[in-house]
Chains A and B, each alone.
Chain A
């Protein structure tokens, strides 16, 4: 199981570990990563894993379409703006706040 230090910030980390992540987002992303260990690394699997993680962590939790990224939609939380998207090097975590440029926070899985 991933331990909390996996989600701490390391300058050389290629995994999404932004200090801007809330505790809730961090926990959801960690659950998503865990679910993807034995799953295919495609976006559909990641989307399913994210949805299940959100439903488990948040009462009546849902995922939302937040906008578009390099190769398709960003799916995540309206309230934090944190979501996942397909990029050239895999599935990444991004922040898509209303009215602000989309920022890439790192890869969802190493």
Chain B
């Protein structure tokens, strides 16, 4: 099940525009919550994550370690839900999304003088939202500017199409996970807007989106401990 998003052709974000289109192609390429295709996909996903970590570490070494203990886990919805519950637990002292990814993006934007409120002139008025054309990055409500990147995913349809119908806790967990991943796409776009050019090689969030595209779902259990989870019955030896 894909959650496509395409930038409106009339939208112009300067030098970064071609890079933004590439980011949304990467996002739209993710087939969410489908079984892992093969071992090669798992290996590619692992390399993508290491690439993400190395790029991020170049900017925020105290949050992204030099070496990562990466464990691949192939399991069913029960295991996925348990992992979601684990990282959502208030007992968890480590919050990868808040402590690492969000901080990474925020500090980079600050360093480049990029602010969301400065996008007001580009923002589409909420009265015209959702515009049938879609594809606008920012929306305006009164004098407030906010992200308009709101990709949807019909989780129930995705699950109906799968061979095993997951229960409500798994649906909730998947919705939660997808919303977090959506933040990664926003961070990826924000990074590029702050850079204001079309070169994506240094954007640490793009390889992370490509981890998802390989069918792997990262769960950071500690600063240096990661599970790359994949749905499936297991892979042939």
| A interface residue numbers (CB < 8 A to B) | 23, 43-44, 47-48, 51, 59-60, 62-65, 67, 72-73, 75, 78-79, 81, 97-100
> Can you list 20 contacts pairing A with B, beta carbon distance less than 8 Å?
A43-B142, A44-B141, A47-B144, A60-B102, A60-B103, A60-B105, A62-B146, A63-B144, A63-B146, A65-B129, A65-B146, A65-B148, A73-B129, A73-B141, A75-B146, A79-B176, A79-B183, A97-B175, A97-B176, A98-B178
Q: Which residues of B contact A65 (CB under 8 A)?
A: 126, 129, 139, 141, 146-148, 150
The answer to whether A60 touches B146 (Cβ under 8 A) is no
The reply on B223 being an interface residue by CB < 8 A is no
B102: nearest chain-A partner, CB-CB = A60
The answer to whether B153 touches A99 (Cβ under 8 A) is yes
Which 7 A-B pairs give the minimum distances between C-beta atoms?
A60-B106, A98-B175, A99-B155, A44-B142, A99-B175, A78-B179, A98-B179
Q: Which B163-209 residues have a C-beta within 8 angstroms of A? A: 171-172, 175-176, 178-180, 182-183
Q: Which residues of B contact A43 (CB under 8 A)?
A: 142
The answer to whether A98 touches B146 (Cβ under 8 A) is no
The answer to whether A79 touches B180 (Cβ under 8 A) is yes
How many Å lie between the Cα of A59 and that of B109 in the bound state? Answer: 13
Q: Which residues of A contact B105 (CB under 8 A)?
A: 60
B143 to chain A, nearest CB (A): 8
B106: nearest chain-A partner, CB-CB = A60
Take A47-B144, A65-B147 as given contacts and tell me if A73 and B126 are in contact as well, using a CB distance cutoff of 8 Å: yes
The answer to whether A99 touches B171 (Cβ under 8 A) is yes
Q: Which residues of A contact B183 (CB under 8 A)?
A: 78-79
11 A-B pairs besides A64-B147, A67-B150, A72-B126 with CB distance below 8 A are A23-B90, A59-B98, A63-B146, A65-B126, A65-B148, A73-B126, A78-B182, A79-B179, A79-B183, A98-B179, A99-B171
How many Å lie between the Cα of A90 and that of B144 in the bound state? Answer: 20
B191 to chain A, nearest CB (A): 13
Take A59-B106, A72-B126 as given contacts and tell me if A97 and B172 are in contact as well, using a CB distance cutoff of 8 Å: yes
How many Å lie between the Cα of A43 and that of B142 in the bound state? Answer: 9
A54 to chain B, nearest CB (A): 11
The reply on B68 being an interface residue by CB < 8 A is no
How many Å lie between the Cα of A23 and that of B90 in the bound state? Answer: 10
The answer to whether B178 touches A51 (Cβ under 8 A) is no
Q: Which residues of A contact B152 (CB under 8 A)?
A: 98
Q: Which residues of A contact B171 (CB under 8 A)?
A: 99
The reply on B156 being an interface residue by CB < 8 A is yes
B161 to chain A, nearest CB (A): 14
Q: Which residues of B contact A64 (CB under 8 A)?
A: 146-147
